[in-house]
Chains A and B, each alone.
Chain A
Amino acid sequence: MTMAILLGIATLSIGNDAESAVAMSRPPSRFEQIVGDTEAFRLMLKGALRDASSPCLVWLPDAGQFLSGREYHAALGAFFGLVFGHPEGERRYRAQAAAITGRLEESGADSLVFACEVTGLKVVAVPVRVAETLAAVLFCCAMRPTDPDDDRRFRDAVRGLEEAFGLAAGQLHQYAAHLPDDADPGVERAVARARRVIAALTRLCADRLALQQAQQQDRWRLKAIGALQVANQHLNDLSISWDAFWRATARLLEDLSPIIGAVCGLVLVPGRGTRRDMHIATAVCGLPSEQFAGRLYRLDDALLGVIARAEHFHILHTPNDDLAQGPVRRSIIEQVPEVGARLGREVLIPMFFEDQRNGLVVFFLSNDPAPDSDVLVIDSSTGDSILAQSGSLIGAAFNNRQFVQRRHQQHKFKRAWLETVTHQFVAPLSAVQGHAELLTNRLARWENKNPKLFANWPERHIEQFWNSLTAIERTAQYASRLAYNFSRVVYQDKELGGDLELTVADDLTGELIQIARDFQGSARENRILKVEVDTPSVAPLNGRVAIITSDDLFRQAIGNLVDNAVKYSFENTAIILRGRLEKDWGVIEVINEGIRLAPGEETRIFEYEYRTPEARATYAPGTGIGLSVARDIIVQHGGTLTARPSVPVRKLGDRQSWLTTFTIRLPLIDSDGS
């Protein structure tokens, strides 16, 4: 007997609008998620079952729905169209399908022939299993039973349906006459074909699922890498504070938690000082930080031993049996029971940097694990690698921060030491200078009163005596200047600007003359004719520039420039201090004639400890910090200090002399002082 071919597999959109709305609003079943294009599936099934002798239905157990379509009622044929098209009929079918699904799940069978309680027909159910999950059931090959008892039950069922649906007596039974009976050999072939189709479909779904999972894992991986990159930018900024560092670390934990399906996480670093035997919780996510940040934990020796022995990029997955014993877990359960109730297994990631094991990143996974594709599978090489990278990143950044901190401490110590040394030098030098000055002043005064004071001294001894006194005073002054410059270097990063007192230089000319006078002695010693202030050119600057009087900073800056000029001027030359107004600037120039400042050196000479080759060749004492300090001071005035490469002037003996100009620009103030 040839049977009609009825196919009922179609798109999700079904004829009834209300049902359609429900179908559209429900979340897609696992089968639909995997197959995706259900229309393509329908066509495939239609092709494979083209010789089938009975309508087919696909049941989606997790959605509690049949995968049906607009053409469904027509395609099912008169009998099933009537039964299934009736709301009560479909309800009964769904109940029957759910019951059969349960039996298939229990038995694990690859097909099941059963008597349908709704129609009394015999039906074949073939499960569609994807990744060990029953995603769908194909109901096919409906048959009229030939056994007399079964046939009677079939007839009773049909009659009952006719009454329930208000159909004419015999109407359904007449339609059922077109169905094959269970003795028809074609049924067996159709069942075999259906099973082959489903086997192919299962493989297809499995492949598709694997692809989907791989794609999702890829998306998670990219997301995790994005989080690592963001963290990398923040954590490797060595200028950030420890607080900012821990905030960035907590942010990384927060970003990674949903990716790996963690409920919460924290970073534990070894305690310091008296708490060396403890670990401190630092960055925290998924937990109230006020309760957990800074909390101390005593980790058991076994775990510490594992961490100590752990290799690079090694992730530790604690066995479930040990979890309840963990101090961190216990504290979470006690402090935040709602989070504690969700804690699954722990993932421990050592924070590595080279040989340093700086601590531990701990994630608590959810005890209600999401499907694999919903999170980054951390037991995979990709997942473990991501987590290991996070541990390595935090570990390296932690190490770098500690390094920076140590350097700051060393710098602080060095500064304190230099401060002490400077103080120790300056105080006695100042005393030597004072004694020399006192002696000079007193002797000069007494000699004035008593011209015969040195009458019994040989003339050359008197001159030597005065020279020695002057040398003592000048040398002490020079040494003090050096010590001062050192102390400026020590304090140059201390933002002195806020404490500095700017005073309008009403008598800048007098100020410069005083500085020039201080260097006359050194100049004479170097056979320099004079240190001279070109007063007419400086006069317009009086009252127009402000200078820092605190610590005599301005005097120190100009003094360093004049000192530099004295050291590198040739004999029988003059050092000139000149001034001029230039737009918004008051300009002071220190000009000398001597060794060359070559092109390219004019910026380098302001570098700390830099001395030009020509300067080194003069054997003049110098440390290479005077100009650096001078520029620093002028910058604190809001001005600039620059130099121009020397220009040739003349031949002095067999040497070429060069004119070198250092230019200070100070911001001009209005006459009213503003």
Chain B
Amino acid sequence: MTQPTARKRILMVDDQLDYIQPYAEALEDEDFDVTLISQVDSALEMLREGGFDVIILDMLMPPSEGVHEDFEDLDLRKSGGWVLSQIREDERLRDVPIIFITAVRDTRVREWVEQTERAYTGRDPVILTKPVTLTQLIKIVRRVSE
């Protein structure tokens, strides 16, 4: 008799929870265990406690208290690239797949995220640009969590 496969755990971080609610529920419907969180600092704490298989991040979020004031550019300070670097800094979290969802097309922010991910993992980041259909997201989450 085979053991039931453990549900994959997903952490979704977005300052506008209403906006990602349907994605979370669609993933729940597909048997993923989804945790929603809007605070960057709390998200980092949870991640460090471990157990997540996939992270879905908004690319632009309000800056965390920890963001260094050296970032003169507000967009870069808000960028999920900073969160990304905090996650990848932790060796235990270095291989956890991260999917960025964003409505932002500013190549500057994207470049920063891309450079950060490449610097830590040697891989290109997965970036989905809104509008993203539930089907698209489910497909990609399945792929990266395998």
Q: Does B29 contact A (CB under 8 A)?
A: yes
* In contact, B131 and A477 (Cβ under 8 angstroms): yes
Q: Does B31 contact A (CB under 8 A)?
A: no
User: Given A427-B16, A428-B19, A499-B110, are A434 and B103 neighbors across the interface (CB < 8 Å)?
Assistant: no
A435: chain B residues at CB < 8 Å are 21-22
* In contact, A484 and B104 (Cβ under 8 angstroms): no
Q: Which of B23, B29, B105 contacts A442 (CB 8 A)?
A: B29
Kindly provide the distance from the CB of B141 to the nearest chain A CB, expressed in whole angstroms.
14
* In contact, B103 and A427 (Cβ under 8 angstroms): yes
* In contact, A434 and B105 (Cβ under 8 angstroms): no
Q: Which of B104, B132, B135 contacts A423 (CB 8 A)?
A: B104
Q: Mark A644-663, 1 if CB is under 8 A from B, else 0.
A: 00000000000000000000
Q: Mark B8-31, 1 if CB is under 8 A from A, else 0.
A: 000000001011111101100100
Q: Which of A434, A481, A551 contacts B134 (CB 8 A)?
A: A434
Please give me the residue from chain B that is nearest to A422 by CB atom: B103
How far is it, in angstroms, between the C-alpha of A445 and the C-alpha of B25 when the chains are bound?
14
A484: chain B residues at CB < 8 Å are 131
* In contact, B20 and A431 (Cβ under 8 angstroms): yes
A423: chain B residues at CB < 8 Å are 60, 103-104
* In contact, A499 and B107 (Cβ under 8 angstroms): yes
Q: Does A272 contact B (CB under 8 A)?
A: no
Kindly provide the distance from the CB of B13 to the nearest chain A CB, expressed in whole angstroms.
14
Q: Does A200 contact B (CB under 8 A)?
A: no
Please give me the residue from chain A that is nearest to B23 by CB atom: A434
User: Given A435-B21, A487-B105, A499-B111, are A429 and B131 neighbors across the interface (CB < 8 Å)?
Assistant: yes
* In contact, A431 and B60 (Cβ under 8 angstroms): no
Kindly provide the distance from the CB of B132 to the nearest chain A CB, expressed in whole angstroms.
6
Please give me the residue from chain B that is nearest to A477 by CB atom: B131
Q: Mark B25-57, 1 if CB is under 8 A from A, else 0.
A: 110010000000000000000000000000000
Kindly provide the distance from the CB of B143 to the nearest chain A CB, expressed in whole angstroms.
13
Q: Does B121 contact A (CB under 8 A)?
A: no
Please give me the residue from chain B that is nearest to A551 by CB atom: B129
Q: Does A496 contact B (CB under 8 A)?
A: yes
Kindly provide the distance from the CB of A300 to the nearest chain B CB, expressed in whole angstroms.
38
Q: Mark A496-513, 1 if CB is under 8 A from B, else 0.
A: 100100000000000000
Which residues of chain A from 424 to 457 have any CB-CB distance to chain B below 8 Å in the complex?
Answer: 426-431, 433-435, 437-438, 441-442, 445
How far is it, in angstroms, between the C-alpha of A426 and the C-alpha of B129 when the chains are bound?
10
B110: chain A residues at CB < 8 Å are 499
A contacts with B, residue count (CB < 8 A): 31
Which residues of chain A from 550 to 586 have any CB-CB distance to chain B below 8 Å in the complex?
Answer: 551-552
A480: chain B residues at CB < 8 Å are 130-131
* In contact, A437 and B133 (Cβ under 8 angstroms): yes
A488: chain B residues at CB < 8 Å are 105
How far is it, in angstroms, between the C-alpha of A435 and the C-alpha of B23 when the chains are bound?
8
Q: Does A608 contact B (CB under 8 A)?
A: no
Q: Does A494 contact B (CB under 8 A)?
A: yes
Which residues of chain A from 592 to 642 have any CB-CB distance to chain B below 8 Å in the complex?
Answer: none
Kindly provide the distance from the CB of B60 to the nearest chain A CB, expressed in whole angstroms.
7
* In contact, A441 and B134 (Cβ under 8 angstroms): yes
Please give me the residue from chain B that is nearest to A552 by CB atom: B129
Q: Does A476 contact B (CB under 8 A)?
A: yes
B22: chain A residues at CB < 8 Å are 431, 434-435, 437-438
Please give me the residue from chain B that is nearest to A427 by CB atom: B103
A422: chain B residues at CB < 8 Å are 103, 105
How far is it, in angstroms, between the C-alpha of A125 and the C-alpha of B134 when the chains are bound?
113
Q: Does A491 contact B (CB under 8 A)?
A: yes
Q: Does A419 contact B (CB under 8 A)?
A: yes
Q: Does B72 contact A (CB under 8 A)?
A: no
Please give me the residue from chain A that is nearest to B19 by CB atom: A431
Kindly provide the distance from the CB of B1 to the nearest chain A CB, expressed in whole angstroms.
27
Which residues of chain A from 464 to 483 have any CB-CB distance to chain B below 8 Å in the complex?
Answer: 476-477, 480-481
Kindly provide the distance from the CB of A490 to the nearest chain B CB, expressed in whole angstroms.
8
Q: Does B146 contact A (CB under 8 A)?
A: no
Kindly provide the distance from the CB of B134 to the nearest chain A CB, expressed in whole angstroms.
5
Q: Which of B105, B111, B131, B135 contacts A430 (CB 8 A)?
A: B131
Q: Does B70 contact A (CB under 8 A)?
A: no
Q: Which of B20, B111, B130, B133 contacts A426 (CB 8 A)?
A: B130
Q: Does B106 contact A (CB under 8 A)?
A: yes
* In contact, A476 and B107 (Cβ under 8 angstroms): no
* In contact, B18 and A551 (Cβ under 8 angstroms): no
Please give me the residue from chain B that is nearest to A432 by CB atom: B22
User: Given A423-B60, A427-B103, are A437 and B134 neighbors across the interface (CB < 8 Å)?
Assistant: yes
Q: Mark B94-116, 1 if CB is under 8 A from A, else 0.
A: 00000000011111001100100
User: Given A476-B131, A477-B131, are A426 and B103 neighbors across the interface (CB < 8 Å)?
Assistant: yes
B131: chain A residues at CB < 8 Å are 426, 429-430, 433, 476-477, 480-481, 484
* In contact, A494 and B107 (Cβ under 8 angstroms): yes
A434: chain B residues at CB < 8 Å are 19, 21-23, 26, 132-134
B103: chain A residues at CB < 8 Å are 422-423, 426-427, 430
How far is it, in angstroms, between the C-alpha of A427 and the C-alpha of B14 when the chains are bound?
11
Which residues of chain A from 46 to 81 have any CB-CB distance to chain B below 8 Å in the complex?
Answer: none
* In contact, B26 and A437 (Cβ under 8 angstroms): yes
How far is it, in angstroms, between the C-alpha of A496 and the C-alpha of B106 when the chains are bound?
10
Kindly provide the distance from the CB of B62 to the nearest chain A CB, expressed in whole angstroms.
14
B104: chain A residues at CB < 8 Å are 419, 423
How far is it, in angstroms, between the C-alpha of A508 and the C-alpha of B110 when the chains are bound?
27
A552: chain B residues at CB < 8 Å are 129
Kindly provide the distance from the CB of A417 to the nearest chain B CB, expressed in whole angstroms.
13
User: Given A423-B60, A552-B129, are A431 and B26 neighbors across the interface (CB < 8 Å)?
Assistant: no
Which residues of chain B from 61 to 110 have any CB-CB distance to chain A below 8 Å in the complex?
Answer: 103-107, 110
* In contact, B134 and A438 (Cβ under 8 angstroms): yes
Please give me the residue from chain B that is nearest to A425 by CB atom: B103
Kindly provide the distance from the CB of B36 to the nearest chain A CB, expressed in whole angstroms.
13
* In contact, B107 and A496 (Cβ under 8 angstroms): yes
A437: chain B residues at CB < 8 Å are 22, 26, 133-135
How far is it, in angstroms, between the C-alpha of A552 and the C-alpha of B114 when the chains are bound?
17
A433: chain B residues at CB < 8 Å are 131, 133
How far is it, in angstroms, between the C-alpha of A296 and the C-alpha of B16 when the chains are bound?
51
Kindly provide the distance from the CB of A521 to the nearest chain B CB, expressed in whole angstroms.
13
User: Given A423-B60, A423-B103, are A438 and B25 neighbors across the interface (CB < 8 Å)?
Assistant: yes
How far is it, in angstroms, between the C-alpha of A488 and the C-alpha of B111 when the chains are bound?
17
Kindly provide the distance from the CB of B106 to the nearest chain A CB, expressed in whole angstroms.
6
Question: Which of B16, B107, B111, B131 is the most central at the interface, judged by chain A CB atoms within 10 Å of its CB?
Answer: B131
How far is it, in angstroms, between the C-alpha of A428 and the C-alpha of B19 when the chains are bound?
6
Please give me the residue from chain B that is nearest to A498 by CB atom: B107
Top-4 shortest CB links A-B = A434-B22, A480-B131, A426-B103, A431-B19
10 A-B residue pairs with Cβ-Cβ distance under 8 Å, sorted by A, are: A419-B104, A419-B105, A423-B60, A429-B131, A430-B131, A431-B20, A434-B26, A476-B131, A477-B131, A481-B131
Task: Known A-B contacts: A419-B104, A427-B19, A491-B105. Give 15 more (CB < 8 A).
Answer: A427-B130, A430-B103, A431-B21, A431-B22, A437-B26, A437-B135, A438-B25, A438-B29, A441-B134, A476-B131, A480-B130, A480-B131, A491-B106, A494-B107, A552-B129
Which residues of A line the B interface, CB within 8 A?
Answer: 419, 422-423, 426-431, 433-435, 437-438, 441-442, 445, 476-477, 480-481, 484, 487-488, 490-491, 494, 496, 499, 551-552
